[in-house]
Structures are given as C-alpha cells and as structure tokens.
Structure 1
C-alpha cells in the first residue's frame, strides 16, 4: 500500500484563451428529449471532471492537439447532439434536454512546464486542477448550462492534458467512455463513431403506476444528529490517493475465509477502505455505516440495454452494518456484505429505483455514515487515443463530488513508478481522520505480514550442479534463483545454492525476506550464534516498503 501525495511546491503558469462554444459541424434536430428517471435523481445532479494526460509522440510532430480535438469535437457532436443543448426542469423536478445546438465549452491553453516537472503531481489530488480545467463562471450548474466543458492544455515538452467535465445526469462511466472513444476515433480520421449513440431514455422511465418492490437502504433518510461528523469538518478536509498493487491484493486475499476465495479485487479493496475509513472516523459502535457500491446494471436486463446507450444505467445498493460489528468482526465479514449487496442488483431492482424517484420526489442518497465506491478500472480509460498513444493517466481529478458529498472514492487503473499495475483511489477525510486512516492501513498490512512469516519453506538447490551449465563460455559465476520468496503470495521461501565468495571459499548462499526490524533481529541472532563472524551482503529493498531482502553466506 502506497500513499501518494501530490507535491504542491511546483508553481507554473497556464495561459488560457477565452472559452468558446463548439457547436455541431452540421445542423442537428431541435427537439426536447426526456432524461430517464435514473438519470435525473438528485444524487447525479453535479458535474464530474476527468483528466487524460498524454506525453509527446515524435510521429505526431507538427500536429496540434488543440486543433485536432476541437475539430473532432464539432464532428462528434453531430452524432451526440443532445450534449450541445441545455437541460431544463419540468413538473415534478423532471429533467429534459432542449437540443438547441448551442454547443459545448472549449478552452485552449498552454502551460510553461513539462510533464516531467509535474511527474509527482500526475494523480489525484491534482494541485494544479484549477489550472488544467478552468471553472468558467456561471457554467457549473445543472439547468441552463453547457453540458460539457473541455480544456486542452499543451505542455512545453509536446505532451498535453485533455480535461473534460460532464453533467452526470447525461452519462455514466460507460456513456462517457463511449463518447470519448467516439471523439478519439473522429480525431484519427473516422467519418462516424464505430458505436453509434442510442438515446432511448424511455427504457428507464418509471412504470405506470410506479411501485417500489425492493428494499433501498441507500435512500433511507437518516437525520444527522451527531456532532463531529465529516460535515462539521468542512474547512479541515484533506485528500490523498492510495495505490494497491499485486502485493497488497495478495495480502488482502489471505485475510478472507476459503468460501470467499473467489472474491474480486474490487470487493477486497472496498472492504479494506470501508473498515479502515470507519475506524479512522471514530464513530460510535452503535451507529450504522453504509458502503454503497456502484453497480453497472446494463447486462442485468432482459433483453440487455442496447449497445450505444449512453445514459445512466447504474445503481448503488448499500451494505449496512453497525460500526461495532464492522470493526470487530474479521475482514471477511465486510467482504461478504459487499458481495451480497452487489448480487441484489437485478432488472427489477433498477426499475424499483426509477419508481422510487417518482414516488419520493427524486431524493438524494443517504449521506450520513455513508461511503460510495465507483470501480472505473474496467472501462479502459487510459486506452483513449487521440493519436498520441495511451494516456499516462486517465481518471477523475479528485475524490468526492465537490462540496456536496466527500465520501465518494473512484478506483482507477494506475501504473506506479516501479512499473507495477494496480488500483489507485483518492479519498477525502478530515486531517486527523486521514492520519488514523493511514495508520489503520499500515496496521492491517503489517499484521498480515506477521502471520505470513509463521511458515517457512526451504529448498536445497546445492546438489543439482546449476553452475555447471556450460553454453561454451565455461562454468557460471552464479546460477540460482533471482530472489527469495515466491512472489507476492508468499515471502517465506528460502533457497540454498552453491556459491563462491570473494575469498574463493565455496559455501551455501541463501536469500531471505523479512520485515526490516525482524531482519535486524535475525542478523543479531546469527551474530550471537556464530560469534559475530558471518558475512551478509548489503540490504536490497524489496517491492514492499517495510521489507528487506538479504543474502547470507
């Protein structure tokens, strides 16, 4: 587990041109289109920003990403013309799109730095987010505002950032990826998107008459009667991002019982986040907490929602537990709750949500004691290619959904500085709670680490003559394993190998993995046993920060 804090120390300047409206390249229908009753719920009435970061590509020398993307945008809007309109609100808070063809906001910008200079800041929380996506005054509302805001910022190195802010009532993650994919195709010369957009929001309108047929604990109206909740720390909120790679996932998987062995990476990280966040907030044991998992329901319909549909087709069922039960039970308890609540999502569940919106006035989800997670790792955000290749980073620019609700975390594909692929997620917490959250994560992983080393395996490779393998260049100077352990799954494996040291002495070499403090004690034990006369090489840091690997002769 790695905590990533963007460095705010680098100061740079962005020169922006005046925002402009980009309209469809050819005339489009002027009509009014209803949003679905999933689209226009209160919990989706906000704008969400995404950043795509691209490095310089020599073969694109002379091509201007601003011009390429602006031109592609106008042609893409011919197919996605509702985005060029404006949302209106009708009777019963019903939202609809007036397809006026006015256009979407576009900003051209230049930064006086290189991407390498920003390398440590290219993940949430972006300290430069306001520079890379300017909040045009009067354009961040839901009704009568542009539905898309795009800024393309060129960097001195030839790289650029494509930043997009979208009205969430129009699209979910699937829909946004579909739109951006269409935009990249048009940027690379296509005459139309490979997947044509489908509106058909009537598919998810409430039934007549509406009827709530499922239990929706995500919409329970819970009064905020407690002091010291996140809301009361509005001016003391901090945001950090955390990276879970293969090692962390392997650790978490060992914490669950056998019957949960097939749980997903998402379920493991979500359970970990929920428990550690709850402990960090120091809530009363009798309080209920909710973990709402966003579930894409497209494939749960019969027939399935048509390919090309870009509206919202997700729900966020809530796993509910008391603070005491969540924190005192084993880790598998949280995983099981999350698996169970995800499995509840059916076509009927989604239709019940749509009906609830009409019956109860399109309420906001429960915010008290709640956390929401959205898994963006399956959408291939980084694959969006305007001609400059795969994005270095693609995902949200921050956690939360602005000042309305801080308890949303997005899981995104990420490659860390070691080249490891894993999951990055930002989280908002009050500053003291963030300190406790990091400590809880550290304690969780170090505790699991201790249990890992209760077992040890040794393999004697000295009798196999590994060094005798001769390709014509003679005997090998060294032949054997490249490291101890057995990858992230198990560190307690040690291999004995023939070795000749610098003095010309033949002996046995064996690598060993241990936590750093345990390694110091191990060396002391060897020293005490052998009178302090033993030889070990310099420590080699392993991929896990608290670990060292040494070889001893």
Structure 2
C-alpha cells in the first residue's frame, strides 16, 4: 500500500467571537503525571458516501475552540510545574491518498501497514494529529493520534463525539467539557490509607535498574485478532457467575477467560505469579467529579495469582479476583492516591511505574478496554464508521477489547503474544471448562 501525503499543515481553533488569550495554561493534575507519556493512535474506516475533507477540517477547528488543550503544547511554567500551554499553536492535519482500493485485509488483520494511515508517533510536538486517507474506491480512513498526558479514553471519546456533532451542523457542543484540573485537592491532614509505592510509583533507582523477569524479548511478537460472539460471551458469563447472586460483568468474565487461556498458551511455571493491569475510571469512583471532566482520571487494579491456582481453579476463581481487585480501587483509594501523589512523590523522588518502553509483559498482562467508549459515534455527517481499531503497536501481553461495529453485543480482542504461542492460543481460546 503506497500512501501519498498530499498536504500536511497546522490548523488552529476557530472562534466565533473574540479569541481568548494565548498566555494561559492548565496545570497537569496528579492523574496526568502518573499516566503513559506517549501518543495513542486510533483508526476509523468509512464507506461511501463520505464528507469532503473541508467539512471534517472545519468541524475540527470549531471543536478545538472548546477543547483548547489539544491545540496547546506541553511545557513548564515559571515555577517549574508541568502544564499545558493554551497557546493555540494548533494540531497537525494531514491529507493523504492511495491510488488503489482499500484492501480490507489490512484492517481486518493488523500489520505494520497501519502505521502509514496516521501521522508518526515519534518526536511529536503537537498534542493531536489527524490524517485523512482517501482510497480510489471512495473509502476514507481517519487516523488520529492523541497525547495520553492530555486526556484519557473517556475524554478522547467525548471530544470525538463533539467533533462529529459539529461536522453535522448540530450547533454548540453540549454538554461542555469541564477543564479545571485543580479540583483534586489533598486532604488536610493527608491520609495515606494505601501504599502507592510499587503500584503507581517507584524509586528512580529501581526503575533504572529494573531487569525484566522474562528474557525472550528477541522473539517475534504478533497481534492476533479474535472474535467473541454474543452467544459465546453469554455462555462465558453464565459459567463465570455460577453460585453468586449478582453475575459478573461481560468484561470481567471475558478477561478471566483470556487470563487463563493466555497463561496456558504461554506455558508458564506453576509457581510463577501472573497479574493483570486494569484501568479503573475515577469518574465513577470520585463523587465530586463530573462525567464531562476533560483530562486523565484513571488508576489501575492489579489482580494477581499463582499460575497453578489460576489454572487449577475453574473460571469463577479468576473472575472473582478481577472483580474484587477493581472494586477495591474505590473512592478511598483515589483519595489516598491524591494525598500521596501530592505530598510524597517529589519528597521521595518517586517516578511513575507506567512504562512505555517495555516490549514484553510476560508473565503479566495489560488490558485496554474500549467497550464503553462511544468511539463508533464519530459521525461526520454521512454515518458512523464501519470499523475502528487501534493502530499497530507491539507489546507482548497487551490486550485491546473493542465492541464489534455490528453492535450485536460481540467483542473483538486484539491479543499480543510471542509468535510461537499464537497457535496454542488459537486452539484453546474458545475452550470452556
């Protein structure tokens, strides 16, 4: 696939009235500072009819007037604090084309070719980048990248829905995003109810001297896409929820299943410990934060088990570990984190444990669930996408869960494993005990 870049330029917010000052800034919150410092890339594919590029561009300019952070830049204020400067320097907007039809296999089976459908993730100053790639068949692929320090998945999806509404001529963005990142005020006196060392934070020396327990980083990692039908998920949920009054969620049940089958496929030692890093949305935990909050508000749960225990016990055992670990990241945990991050991190010289440089997570897993995000509502005026997916990013042990674009209750899972483990995974991924 030969992608031709037709234009690449910076576009800036469009204001209907007098523009706001470009000297203001937004301080990063403790949740922004603890997350991954990297760009995330997502792809959308649209069938004919598709709106003209100008419609999408103009809608983006208008949406940026309410989401000014994207058009700003990361930096430090005169006190040395990390901030987002609201200087309206703009976002990268790329127009591209391909002199052939869109090969569906490229989107259905993740490959390095996906990297040409969005701007580069390396050495990026802009906090948001958009690429429109048009194919000779009329298909349109919208690839965009967002700096994770600026916003988490909930905030990004709200922005995308707003962008689509503006393109469809639905007037003002409602509800408006909440931009105040100073609302996370530590308690006086602070209460460190939980130990956040070794969870969200670690010492610089430990981070620098960390040696991965798994040393096969030179093996080939591949992304395997697997589809779980609504009927299979219902059966999985019923099995996971045996002998309990309130059934586990579809997410908990599917993740418990994947944890067990991936552990089997890896062939791990029975006494080895395996855990999962699960994102927990603080908007549903902190009572004082509105759903429209724009920024990062995520911490993580880490269900853990010995391999023998995980595999010898039936599915409900793993589901309960996941359910309980997520439930424990509650309002008290979030408040303890705010106190700790405000008072102890700088004092003790701690750094976040979120590490974007790892290529191998074995024996552990990291799950990114997009099941509740309304990404499929990114409608520029001619209907929603027929497909959306993450770009091509290799990290063994990473899992992406996405709802099927068919909206039939099925789920697509993108599983990253060493190539020599994939065939075993394929053989057992639909096996129920």
Q: Give the TM-score normalised by the residue count of structure 2.
A: 0.86
Residue aligned with 1:16, SS? strand
Q: 246, 253, 257: which one pairs with 1:268?
A: 253
Residue aligned with 2:261, SS? helix
Query: In the alignment, is the contact (CA less than 8 A) between 2:13 and 2:65 conserved in 1?
Result: yes
Aligned to 1:295: 280
Query: Per the alignment, do residues 224 and 322 of structure 1 end up closer, same or farther by CA in structure 2, a change over 3 Å counting?
Result: farther
Query: In the alignment, is the contact (CA less than 8 A) between 2:28 and 2:181 conserved in 1?
Result: yes
> Does 1:286 pair with 2:281?
no
Q: 17, 29, 35: which one pairs with 1:36?
A: 29
Q: 302, 320, 326: which one pairs with 1:318?
A: 302
Distance 1:75 1:68 in 2: 11
Q: 12, 23, 30: which one pairs with 1:23?
A: 12
Aligned to 1:493: none
Query: Per the alignment, do residues 250 and 213 of structure 1 end up closer, same or farther by CA in structure 2, a change over 3 Å counting?
Result: same
Aligned to 2:142: 162
Larger radius of gyration: 1
- How do 1:43-54 residues align onto structure 2 when only pairs under 5 Å count? 43-54=35-46
Distance 2:423 2:217 in 1: 15
Residue aligned with 2:400, SS? strand
Aligned to 1:237: 221
Query: In the alignment, is the contact (CA less than 8 A) between 2:233 and 2:250 conserved in 1?
Result: yes
Residue aligned with 1:109, SS? strand
Distance 2:417 2:429 in 1: 14
Distance 1:39 1:137 in 2: 20
Distance 1:91 1:287 in 2: 48
Residue aligned with 1:394, SS? strand
- Residue 282 of structure 1 and its aligned partner are, at CA, apart by 2.5
Query: Per the alignment, do residues 219 and 407 of structure 1 end up closer, same or farther by CA in structure 2, a change over 3 Å counting?
Result: farther
Query: In the alignment, is the contact (CA less than 8 A) between 1:285 and 1:322 conserved in 2?
Result: yes
Q: 372, 380, 389: which one pairs with 1:386?
A: 380
CA offsets 1:411-442 (integer angstroms, 9 cap, x no match): 111157xx954111111111112223223325
Is there any run of 5+ residues in structure 2 with no aligned partner, and where? 356-360
Aligned to 2:358: none
- Residue 114 of structure 1 and its aligned partner are, at CA, apart by 2.8
- How do 1:82-161 residues align onto structure 2 when only pairs under 5 Å count? 82-89=69-76, 95-115=82-102, 118-123=103-108, 125-135=110-120, 138-139=123-124, 145-161=125-141
Task: Flag the structure with more relative contact order, 1 or 2, with Cα contacts below 8 A and sequence separation at least 6.
Answer: 2
- Residue 34 of structure 1 and its aligned partner are, at CA, apart by 0.5
Query: In the alignment, is the contact (CA less than 8 A) between 2:161 and 2:374 conserved in 1?
Result: no
Aligned to 2:174: 194
- Residue 94 of structure 1 and its aligned partner are, at CA, apart by 5.1
Distance 1:113 1:420 in 2: 31
- Residue 375 of structure 1 and its aligned partner are, at CA, apart by 2.1
CA offsets 1:346-366 (integer angstroms, 9 cap, x no match): 222112233444424342148
- Residue 206 of structure 1 and its aligned partner are, at CA, apart by 4.9
* Equivalenced residues, count: 412
- Residue 315 of structure 1 and its aligned partner are, at CA, apart by 1.6
Query: Per the alignment, do residues 432 and 197 of structure 1 end up closer, same or farther by CA in structure 2, a change over 3 Å counting?
Result: same
CA offsets 1:454-496 (integer angstroms, 9 cap, x no match): xxxxxxxxxxxxxxxxxxxxxxxxxxxxxxxxxxxxxxxxxxx
Distance 2:423 2:188 in 1: 50
> Does 1:395 pair with 2:389?
yes
Query: In the alignment, is the contact (CA less than 8 A) between 1:381 and 1:395 conserved in 2?
Result: no
Distance 1:266 1:283 in 2: 24
Query: In the alignment, is the contact (CA less than 8 A) between 2:164 and 2:379 conserved in 1?
Result: yes
Aligned to 1:377: 371
Aligned to 2:426: 438
Query: Per the alignment, do residues 343 and 136 of structure 1 end up closer, same or farther by CA in structure 2, a change over 3 Å counting?
Result: closer
Report the RMSD for the aligned CA atoms in angstroms. Answer: 2.7
Query: In the alignment, is the contact (CA less than 8 A) between 1:55 and 1:159 conserved in 2?
Result: yes
Distance 1:100 1:134 in 2: 22
Query: In the alignment, is the contact (CA less than 8 A) between 2:32 and 2:150 conserved in 1?
Result: yes
Query: Per the alignment, do residues 434 and 219 of structure 1 end up closer, same or farther by CA in structure 2, a change over 3 Å counting?
Result: farther
Is there any run of 5+ residues in structure 1 with no aligned partner, and where? 1-11, 140-144, 449-553
Aligned to 1:424: 412
Aligned to 1:55: 47
Residue aligned with 1:87, SS? strand
Query: In the alignment, is the contact (CA less than 8 A) between 1:38 and 1:353 conserved in 2?
Result: no
- Residue 371 of structure 1 and its aligned partner are, at CA, apart by 1.5
Query: Per the alignment, do residues 382 and 212 of structure 1 end up closer, same or farther by CA in structure 2, a change over 3 Å counting?
Result: same
